[in-house]
Structure 1
Amino acid sequence: MTSTQTPGVSYVMPVLNEANYLRDAVLSILNQDYAGDKEMILALGPSVDKTDEVAAVLAAEDSRVRLVENPRGRTPIGLNLAIKASKYPIIIRVDAHSELEPSYTARGIETMFRVDAHDVGGLMDARGKNPLQRSIAAAYHSPWGLGGAAYHSGAPEGPAESAYLGIFRREVFDEVGFYDESLWRAQDWELCLRIRQAGHKVWFDPELRTGYYPRDEFEALAAQSYASGMWRGELARRYPAGKSLRHDLPPLMVAGTAIGSLALIIEPFLGRKTNPTVRLIWKLAKLAPVTYAGLVVYASATASRASNKEKFLMLRVLPTIHFPWAIGFVKGRLKGAQGTLDKGRVRS
């Protein structure tokens, strides 16, 4: 990388109730092994924990940390406020639950210039600080967890539909617009759609790794999964071409499991006079919940990054991801997301 390829970087981070993670996330950014100038812009939502105090200390300790207020607390609003307050030609979206590898910035910008991309992303390397969080991280890495998207399970380097977080050329926002503030989640996919429609590249580089700490409570995980499903359903409603087969599989699984569970109750009571075809259908339906349970056991047992305890926890983690997401997706697809919040992050 030459001196002309070390432009200044503005890192933008929407923050809400992240007191336990914010310091580590910000320090991993400020300590990036990158020769260019840096600034860190935190868009502070209405947190009810000590997030604002942590942010104020970080800003006092390092003049590169700047704070902007995001009274409504929505992620796309915070991102837009931070981007508009930025001063450097490269924008890197970061998350308070994420920690960047030291070479992340240098590698990402080098890749951007090398392939002439306008948005570059890499792997979301889920991690955990306790057994439950590590089991959720293992589920995220599993192709049976979040559907095997490239930024979860990996793929060869190349053009992508979307990018995790994202390293952007600042001018692309002036050209295609900022994040869609009506999308409270999944706004990155919609932005990438506009970037691709403008004739620019969105690029996946598996050498880029971002450490990510998922939720560490079942209730919070279920709330996050439900909200993610609702907003993915909203996207499918708005942009039918953006829906893929992997989005249909969880709803089919839920429907099949529900019908199969009903069959387990009804089938033994069917009389001898019942039509043979009807009886066969009910018998086959019983296989659905058994098959799903078998897949959960298989996925948990073969998780390569989990201890035995974490594999046992995955038996509950995987359904906690699948069922709320699937129910949310169907509701979002039929009725729209209707302002659904990720209640796992919003506290009272």
Structure 2
Amino acid sequence: MATERLGSGARLKRSDGLAFFIEQQSIHCLNFLSGETAGSTPILLSILTLLDRWRSMREIERLLPEYDPASVRRVMRQLLDWGLVLRKGTPEAERERHLSPWTAWREAMLFHFATKHAFKRVRPLDERKYSAALLRKSPQPPFFKRYARTPLIRLSDPLPSLRGEFPRVLTERRTHRRFGEGRIPIDQLSTLLRLTWSVTSQMRWPALGKVPLRTSPSGGARQPLEVYVWSFKVAGLARGLYHYRSDTHCLERLKRSASPKRLARLCARQKWIGNCAALFVMTAVFPRVMWRYKFSRAYRVVLLEAGHFCQTFLLTATWLGLAPFCTAALLDEEFERELAVDGVSESVLYAAGVGLRRPG
């Protein structure tokens, strides 16, 4: 805090999560790990430049002879308060110690952590008013791209003549926000997990031996995704939070309580989510991918993978006659506290859920 006393022996270092940008002819500093932003001044930039390693207050004052020690301490307290500087031995410093695997993914690190805070101050949205306000500013972009003055080859439409489960499931998939009364049977939840996240086979990888495969592709077969299940209305499964063991197709019970209202709030206050039967939250264990791929583009692969798995979930739920949905509107850090994951090596990415279909 800004009021904290800084002794000469206090050891300090700048956060590893800093980015600078220019806005309205001023330089600003963003801590993308905390979401805090501060305007930059010459003394602030001088101090941050020095703090590439742990330094004592005494050493910092000695390295900045052009500034009055009292002003240096005053700015240092502000930097601590804004989270731009860390004090050794604090929880914030300990958390950043685990960031080292992200150094090879520096560009992805900025995007990943900066976008965690998007829904921190979210308020309930009137969709009609919001869309109308957007239209007043500008028309929406066209949904489809067309090339003018190019040859057009018309194709026959196969859909009316297609038969079987596969095309039916694809065309019937919808996002549901209202659900029927009652519980889904545990057998259907088991099927959702088995066909979406379970290990289905193995393959031999050069030098690595056997690696697991699932129904959706995983870049380099690194399998970074984990899934956690909140059971609200599942016949045969007690309410609570579970982790899915994809290698053995079983659930590990982590918590005996589960509040639908609280989970709806963690899904950016989408109240309707509180009426679902089960919520599935996917996380990524990044070191599994970082171990092999030392470049930021691999982060894209993890996000794409979550999309592959989610689509498999939605289609499986549709095939089972259930009402599925998915959402990326999440309070990431609160979900991570709920799951007791660190948000650095394992982080929340995506959520999907299911309920019974409404009649008709």
**TM-score, length-scaled by structure 2:** 0.22
Specify which structure has the bigger relative contact order, considering alpha-carbon pairs within 8 angstroms and separated by 6 or more residues. 1
Please say which structure displays the higher CA radius of gyration.
2
Higher strand share: 2
